[in-house]
Chain A
Amino acid sequence: MMGQIFTELLELVETKYGYEIVDQLLSNSKLHSGGSYTAIGTYNHIELLILVKNLSELVHIPINELVRDFGEAIFIKLILSHPQILGGISDSFELLSKIDSYIHVEVGKLYPRAQLPHFKYDQISDNHVHLHYRSTRPFASFAEGLLLGCGQYFNEKFIITRLLSADSSEMNVTFDIVRQQKALIHG
């Protein structure tokens, strides 16, 4: 997994809870990498799961909530560090519709070893889509956070609910997304 995810996570934890929590987290987690991450490195995704689990215990916040918040926060950073990925995209749903067909293609070019999830886009109406997430890793909440971050980036609010089905899991989820313009919300 991209080292930037780890470094961003630790930066977020430090920002939110101070370096003491980061130090405790890294010291408690007994990670193979020793918790020394660099954004340009690649690390086992299990370490992220360990970090999130231990952080949840440290800050008493549920794992999914932590992961979602982390996803929401990191979206903007990812976009800012890879602005070319957005290209000419100016609409949030347009971005969602192009995750598999364009964004992940570009990511693949930058990180050839990256194992990327699949997103199936299904537009219900102008402001309503179904986005089906499928991955070999249980990061559906992280994805949900990224979606929320996306909404924020485009100055919108995404109301996201998970459509439950028999095979729903953290690796296989359909998100029901309804977007609202911020102006409308405040209005």
Chain B
Amino acid sequence: MGENYSTIVMLERRVAREIKSRKQAEKILNQKSLELYYTNLALIESNQELDKRVQERTRELEIAKQKAEHHSAINKRVNDRFRLAMLASTAGIWEKNITDNSWYFSDRLMLLLGFDKAQLTKYFDDFSFVHPDDLRMLKSKVIQHIKYQQILDVECRVLTVSGCYKWFWIAGQAEWDSQGVFSRIAGSFSDIDERVESAITIQRMAHFDHLTEIPNRVLFNQQLDELISQSHLRNIPLAVLLIDLNDFKLINDTLGHAAGDKLLQYVASTLKKSLCSRDLVSRLGGDEFAIVLNNVVDKQHLQASCEKILKALETPIKYESNTLQAKISIGAALYPEHGRKRGELLSNADLAMYQAKKKKAKGSQFYVCEPELIKQRASRVRIGRDIYTAIKNHEFYMMYQPFVDLRNGSHNMVESLVRWDHATLGKMSPADFIPIAEESGLIVELGDLIIEMVIADMPKFMHSGALDRLSINISAAHFLSPNFLRVLTENLDKCPGAAEHLCIEITEGVVLDNISLARIVIDKLHRLGLVVSLDDFGTGYSSLSYLQLLSVDSIKLDRSFIADLDNSKDRRTITESIIRLAHSLNLYVVAEGVENSNQLDYLLGYQCNYIQGNFFYQPMLAQQLSTVLQDSLFYESWTDDVQEQGAT
């Protein structure tokens, strides 16, 4: 009984424990259920949130997809454009990817050079297809570009599959990654072979004479400047030689230009052969050559070099059936003695050449510049400047010298003579300043002034009624200038009737310069009422045919003939013959420079028409001439009276 009871009690405790456990479990389950409920709610909320995020993400993905498609379309268009540009481009494209050490070459590049990808890869890797002379420059440019980002832009020669080098314009651009590491370089090859070759040809044409293939004036000037600089640095003299072919025009005129060209080529090649390779030979133009001799030790050395050149050109050449002989005049100037600059040296060599030219009748000559020569030239330049000022300031004035008519001793023919009182040099002889005025071109302005001054004096002379003709000396250049007739007529308009009392004296130079124009001018002068006289006859060419061609009215025998009349029978014979011939052509003759009675007697015997010279009249001012002319009128009337009385 007791055991059962304790068992029952124990079972009750068990049941109680079980109940308690169940309740705990129920409580826990309820809690868990509640937790699950809230968890479920949270999950639903979370799911909704997730759905929302998924929708958002989906929308974002859709937008991203649309963007990607848009970019893809753009990329495709860009790629298509790039591909088309590559096809259309005449340039070949290359690219090197440094990261994976790979090369890309466009089809056009392979076509331009004629190599396949493997060959190009090798050539691009070691630059071995670049011309050795251009290699250093190209490598330097590439390095400068990669190191300092300078422009990569080179013109160089590149080997092509034909085995020939061609000119290409190579451009390139490198890329660096975000860490600044050089990662890629790409560029182009453009075929510029034709352009460069043309440029080289043009350059050659611009610097070399086409006929003789030696440097022309442009290159000569450049090289002379360089040689002068070197000479200055090394303190070693050099010489500049100017060479002119004597009477080259005659060869061209008589044998044709082909003969002239042949001679020029011969001279050029001979000059080159006779000089050292370091010396410079150039054709400046026409028949003018120039040489620069380097390392000229002294004047003797220079003279020896000039003689060597003359000797080399002594040998004549055959041209068709003719023999051509190059006769030259060399003028030489030394650096630094005769000039430190190109212009000065050439100018002084030119000066020297004209000295050599003076003796051209004796054959080829050379002349080395002298300081005295330079000084004289400087003086002439100064006088030239003074002439210009003197013209503006009317420092010139006119004097007049009457002729004597050998028939009756009257003096109604007069020559006007220009005179100049130089401010510092005093009275200057026309023989000194006229050539300078002619050289400088001022003779035209001076001539205009002379015309103006003489015609201004004319009323005084015409008033006397004794003036027959008054002659004005006009130089060749002035006579043939368009100014001459215009200025003359303008002045004649101011003095009516003057034309019939004027004579224009010209020289043979007019004929030599332009005979057809000279004839036109003479004709116009005749129509205006003037006469024309040929001055200094007997010197120069003195071609008698000119007398007819030019329709001159008289000749003036040069004073050199008159001076020799006393001493030379030959001269007397020539003088008489010229006078006779002139008369046969209906020209009257004036003898210049008659200084004594013997000369007068001879000329009377030859029936010369007029004489002029200090023996009778010195040049005089206009006022004096007026008096002389009036005297002449009196003399004429007196002789007329005597003759009339004699007759009665």
Q: Residues of A at under 8 Å CB distance from B?
A: 19-20, 23, 26-27, 34-41
Select one of B14, B20, B22, B29 contacting A34, CB under 8 A. B20
Which residues does chain B contribute within 8 Å of A35, judged by CB atoms?
A: 17
A21 → B minimal CB distance (Å): 11
Contact B21 A36 (CB under 8 A): yes
Given A19-B10, A20-B10, A23-B10, CB of A36 within 8 Å of CB of B28:
no
Which residues does chain A contribute within 8 Å of B25, judged by CB atoms?
A: 38-41
**Range class of the B interface residue count:** 10 to 19
Contact A36 B24 (CB under 8 A): yes
Which residues does chain A contribute within 8 Å of B20, judged by CB atoms?
A: 34, 36
A19→B25 CA distance, assembly (Å): 21
Majority SS at the chain A contact face: loop
With an 8 A cutoff between CB atoms, is B32 at the interface?
Answer: yes
Majority SS at the chain B contact face: helix
A37→B25 CA distance, assembly (Å): 8
Contact A23 B28 (CB under 8 A): no
Which residues does chain A contribute within 8 Å of B318, judged by CB atoms?
A: none
Give A19's nearest chain B residue, CB to CB.
Answer: B14
With an 8 A cutoff between CB atoms, is B13 at the interface?
Answer: yes
Contact A38 B24 (CB under 8 A): yes
A20→B11 CA distance, assembly (Å): 9
B36 → A minimal CB distance (Å): 13
Q: Which B2-38 residues sit within 8 Å CB-CB of chain A? A: 10, 13-14, 16-22, 24-25, 28-29, 32
Give A36's nearest chain B residue, CB to CB.
Answer: B20
B578 → A minimal CB distance (Å): 144
Which residues does chain A contribute within 8 Å of B13, judged by CB atoms?
A: 23, 26-27
Contact B28 A40 (CB under 8 A): yes
A67→B245 CA distance, assembly (Å): 138
Q: Using A23-B10, A36-B16, A36-B18 as known contacts, list a sample of 20 further A-B pairs with CB atoms less than 8 Å apart, ordered by residue number in A.
A: A19-B10, A19-B14, A20-B10, A23-B13, A23-B14, A26-B13, A26-B17, A27-B13, A35-B17, A36-B17, A36-B19, A36-B20, A36-B21, A37-B21, A38-B22, A38-B25, A39-B25, A40-B28, A40-B32, A41-B28
Which residues does chain A contribute within 8 Å of B32, judged by CB atoms?
A: 40
A-B contacts, 22 of them at CB < 8 A, read A19-B14, A26-B13, A26-B17, A27-B13, A34-B17, A34-B20, A35-B17, A36-B16, A36-B17, A36-B19, A36-B21, A36-B24, A37-B24, A38-B22, A38-B24, A38-B28, A39-B25, A40-B28, A40-B29, A41-B24, A41-B25, A41-B28
Q: Which residue, of A26, A35, A38, has the highest number of chain B Cβ atoms within 10 A?
A: A38
A38→B21 CA distance, assembly (Å): 5
Which residues does chain A contribute within 8 Å of B22, judged by CB atoms?
A: 38
Which residues does chain B contribute within 8 Å of A34, judged by CB atoms?
A: 17, 20
Q: Which residue, of B13, B16, B17, B21, has the highest number of chain A Cβ atoms within 10 A?
A: B21
Which residues does chain B contribute within 8 Å of A19, judged by CB atoms?
A: 10, 14
Q: Which B202-221 residues sit within 8 Å CB-CB of chain A? A: none
A128→B584 CA distance, assembly (Å): 159
Give B24's nearest chain A residue, CB to CB.
Answer: A38
Which residues does chain A contribute within 8 Å of B16, judged by CB atoms?
A: 36
Which residues does chain B contribute within 8 Å of A39, judged by CB atoms?
A: 25
Beta-carbon contacts of B19-60 to A below 8 Å, as 1s and 0s? 111101100110010000000000000000000000000000
Which residues does chain B contribute within 8 Å of A23, judged by CB atoms?
A: 10, 13-14
A131 → B minimal CB distance (Å): 33
Give B10's nearest chain A residue, CB to CB.
Answer: A23
